[in-house]
Every structure is written in structure tokens, then in C-alpha cells.
Amino acid sequence: MYGKGAIKSLLVTATRFWNTYWDDFVWLLRRIRRGDRRYYSQEGIRHRSSKDTRGIFTIQYPEEKLITPEEFRFLPFLIYDEAEDGKREIRCTSCGICAKVCPPQCIWIVRSNDPKTGRPIPEPTAFFIDGDICMNCGFCSEYCPFDAIKMDHEIDIASYNRNVFDMEALLKPASYYAGIRPANFAREEEARRQKEAAKAAKAAASVS
């Protein structure tokens, strides 16, 4: 019969249409029973980006936002550790690997010298990242030997000017990093602890 195929197609769209409202009803029951909400809730968003989603698929941006996975990368930032006296201990040693490995060459570092001795000290005087040139490849954080530069999750950086970030704008505490990348942070801290333990054991062995 001519037209059978077209009717079959229409059935597909009709099913999708039906699913949207049927799922609203199913979620209403879940809400009554368990308090789960389909819209404006984490479990709703998670459901809509899972393999079981049917019917409505969209996320109501900006009221709702997709859940950012841990590995998401956007623009690098520098990490400092907070010492007990409140001083910032910048992890960067200005070795320059990030600037070397940056494909579009958007990182610029000024190394610093000790004012008394004139010898170089492992902390940068200035650190710039040209955010409009950065291609978000993540090489800088991948090859940094000191875990000093990491990729951020912050994406709302629209501005009227060029986004050239200086060290003040780039520095964020290690606790912020632990917040956005808990698994990576835990792994790196564990590696550092082991390294220090090995060092301490070696030092103890050489003393005795």
C-alpha cells in the first residue's frame, strides 16, 4: 500500500510525543512516592543524559546545567597551597615546560631572582595566559611535573575585553582544585605522600 511507509514514520514521531507526556506521568508517581523530580534536579538531569532517557531530552539551560565530568577541561589555572600562617605557597617553579608544550604559545612566564644573591629562585614573578589564544588542549596540566597548573571547569568568562589573565587572576587554592577534580586530587596527593615517605625513609637510612 502506498503511504504505509509514511504512516510508519509518523508512528515513530507519535511514539516520541506520547513518551514525553507518559514519562511526565511516571515521574509524577515517582515524585509522590520518593520525591524525585524530573525538572530542575540532579537526578532528573542525570536521567535525561542516561541511556534510559525517552521523550523530552533537552536541558533547560541556564536554569539547569549538564553535570560537568571531572576530566572536563577549559582554560588553565595555577594552584597554590595554603600554609598554616595563611601564606600562599605557589606550586609553580617557573620551569617553563607548560610554555614550551603550549601549541598556540599563549603562556608567558617571568622567572625571578633573589634580590640579595641574584640567583634564580623557583617562583615566577609574572605568569600570563592569553585566554583568547588558548586552545584548551590541556597539555600544560598534563606535562607539568609539579601539578602546579590544572585545567578549570569555569566556562562563564565572557567579557568585553581580551581575556589576558595575570598571576592574580590565575591563582586558585588547592582546595578549589580538590573540589572540581576530587579523584585526580586524591591520586596526586597519594603519589606525593608516597614519594615523601620514600624520601624520609631514605634519609633515615642514611642517618643511621
Partner 1 sequence: MSMPSMGTPAPVQEFVDLSSRFPGIVAPDSRAGFTGWIVAAERLVEVATVLRDELGFDLLSCVTGVDYLPENRMEVVYHLNRTTGGPGLNFKVQVARADPIEVPSLIGVWPGADLQEREAWDLLGIRFAGHPDLRRILMWEGFEGHPLRKDWKEAFYEEDGKPFKSRWPEGQLQMAEDRNPLQDNLSFPPGFDPEKWIPEGDALLYGSLARYTIKDEQGLSTDSIVVNMGPQHPSTHGVFRAAIKLNGETIVALKPVIGYLHRNHEKIGERNTFLLNMPYTDRLDYFNSMANNLGYAITVEKLMGIPVAERAEYIRVIMAELTRIQNHLVFIGNLLNDLGAMYTPALYAFEERELILDIFEAVSGARMMCNYLRFGGVVRDVPPDVMEKIRGLVHDRLPGKTDEMERLLTENEIFLSRTKGVPMIDGETAVQYSITGPVLRAAGVPYDIRRADPYSIYDRFEFDVAVRPHGDLFDNYIIRIDEIRQSLRILEQALKGIPEGPVNSQKPQYQVRVPAGEAYGRIESPKGELAYYVVSNGKPNPWRYHVRAPSFVNISALEKICLGKKIADFVALFGVLDVVMGELDR
Residue numbers at the binding site for partner 1 (CB under 8 A) = 2-6, 8-9, 11-13, 16, 49-53, 57, 66, 69-73, 97, 99-103, 105, 108, 110, 128, 130, 133, 135-139, 142-143, 151, 162, 164, 183
Amino acid found at 27: W
Contact 171, 123 (CB under 8 A): no
CB of 208 to partner 1, least distance (A): 33
Nearer to partner 1, 26 or 99 (CB): 99
C-alpha–C-alpha distance, residues 76 and 90, integer Å: 15
Burial class (CB in 10 A: 0-12, 13-18, 19+), 17: exposed
Rounded-to-integer distance, Cα 75 and Cα 97, Å:
17
CB neighbour list of residue 112: distance below 8 Å, 6 or more residues apart: 94, 120, 121, 123, 124, 125
Which class for 19: exposed (0-12), middle (13-18), buried (19 or more C-beta within 10 A)? Answer: middle
Q: Please tell me whether residue 50 adopts helix, strand or coil conformation.
A: coil
Nearest to 25 by CA among 54, 67, 62: 54
The minimum distance between CB 128 and partner 1, in angstroms, equals: 6
Shortest Å, Cβ 118 to partner 1: 17
Of 40 and 143, CB closest to partner 1: 143
Which residues, in sequence order, are CB contacts of 68 under 8 Å at separation 6+? 153, 180
Q: Which is nearer to partner 1, 119 or 162 (CB)?
A: 162
Task: Report the nearest approach of partner 1 to the CB of residue 57 (Å).
Answer: 5
Q: Residue 64 Cβ, how far from partner 1 at the closest point, in Å?
A: 14
Q: How far is the CB of 61 from partner 1 (least distance, A)?
A: 13
Q: Identify which of residues 73 and 172 has a Cβ nearer to partner 1 in the complex.
A: 73
Specify the residue, 13 or 117, whose C-beta has the smaller distance to partner 1: 13
Nearer to partner 1 by Cβ, of 81 and 132: the residue is 132
